[in-house]
Amino acid sequence: MTRPCIIAIALLLASPVAKGEPAPPGKARAALVGAGAGGLAVGTAWFFVAGDSLGAGDPASVMMAVGAVGAMGATLGAVVSSGNETGFDDRAATAPVTVSLGSGGSYYIDEEIPSPATLSLQPRFWFGSRVRLTLGAAAHTTVGSTVDVDWRPQKSFDTALTASHQGLDIDPEIRLYPDADLPLEFAVRPMVHMRWDAYEYMDGGSRMVRRTQIVPVTAGVRWHLSGRQRFENFIGPRWDALAWSTRNGSESAAPLFGPIYLDTRYTYDIPHNKPFLGLNASSRLNAGYIHSNFDGSGFDVVAIIGFMGPFYLDYDLRLRRAPERWGVQFGAQATVGEGGGMAMSIGAVPPLRSGR
């Protein structure tokens, strides 16, 4: 085991979290910076020593990403910390109903990239004060189609490919709050994501391809480094299923074991001391990484070892007159990486449940 790995593990074990006690935010962040930097260093070394192999490159990518998001998130967390890190009730958590519209457009003449549109439902149900069920689901579509041109110089620059995309995500989540004093939450989120890609080819042919990402045992841990800062990781094995249209109908293949799925994020709750547009306001910033390029976006690491998914930055602003009234939540999302883009969202927020 390499020295950075030993240091990273030692730092993590030495952190107050390992003892099950709430840690002062500064110490918790220092522990996360140390562990994260160690994970990033080991993951990076592993990544490049692994060579052209996803077998080794995939866990190395995961370690790099968790380390990078944790270390950078905690570092920024220390910078933006105002001293008062007490949590507050009406924070900008995920809205139960959200509609979002992404950016489209293309740099190339006669080509089109449509705007993605999503309807997300995240209704939450509490069972006592320690168990919460979220019935997460999302429907995706595109406003228009992807159009690509045949740039071969001896041809007439006709359309090479037209594609439209639809999608459905089923993401139920059970979250456990084991101890009021323990700064950890645990969650299980089995996920099934389906995409229907309809292609129209240059020769007049067409093909429907259905891709399914199945992550049945995704386990998550959320670490509350302070009342306003959290570090969360969801990880699980993934299977991929493929189906395609044929002349006589459709065919499908059995699911194949895929790469590791990971969603790692650092979250900042930002209280607003002054009303905004005459309404009470609070906001939230999520900075994270998803280890999956299921939707075709990700970081290009010169196509060598495994792959890197996209980094993302989400900002949400919650506005409402009073906690017992319905509110509205505006969001801006940036997916950073090849094939990424910007999106804006609006969601409805129900009255605040007392105690949460």
User: Per-residue b/e over 148-158, b at no fewer than 16 CB within 10 Å?
Assistant: bbeeeeeeeee
Helix (H) or strand (E) holding 80: helix 54-80
Among 45, 97, 138, 149, binds other proteins (CB under 8 A): 149
Residue numbers 203-222 binding other proteins by CB under 8 A: 203, 205, 207, 209, 211
For residues 151 and 276, which CB has a smaller minimum distance to other proteins in the complex? 151
Residue 74 within binding range of other proteins, rule CB under 8 A = no
Residue with tokens 């939230």: 284
Q: Which range, of 27-35, 94-102, 221-229, 288-296, touches other proteins by CB under 8 A? A: 288-296
| Residue 242 touches other proteins, criterion: CB under 8 A | yes
From the list 3-11, 25-33, 122-130, 250-258, the region that binds other proteins by CB under 8 A is 250-258
Contacts 24+ apart (CB under 8 A), 105-108: 106/147, 108/149
- Which residue of 116, 136, 220, 306 would you call a contact of other proteins, by CB under 8 A? 306
CB atoms within 10 A of CB 332: 14
Q: Which of residues 3-42 bind other proteins (CB under 8 A)?
A: none
**Is there binding between residue 177 and other proteins (CB under 8 A)?**
no
Query: Using the rule CB under 8 A, is 305 a contact of other proteins?
Result: yes
Rounded Cα distance between 164 and 197, Å, is 6
Among 106, 145, 164, 166, binds other proteins (CB under 8 A): 106
**Closest Cα partner for 298 from 280, 288, 317, 311?**
311
Task: Compute the least distance from the CB of residue 311 to other proteins, in Å.
Answer: 14
Contact 188, 217 (CB under 8 A): yes
Number of other CB atoms surrounding residue 125 within 10 Å: 9
Using CA atoms, how far apart are residues 63 and 40, in angstroms rounded to an integer?
6
Footprint of other proteins on this chain (CB under 8 A)? 51-55, 57-58, 105-109, 111, 148-155, 159-161, 195, 197, 199, 201-203, 205, 207, 209, 211, 238, 240, 242-246, 251, 253-254, 256-259, 293-296, 298, 300-307, 338-339
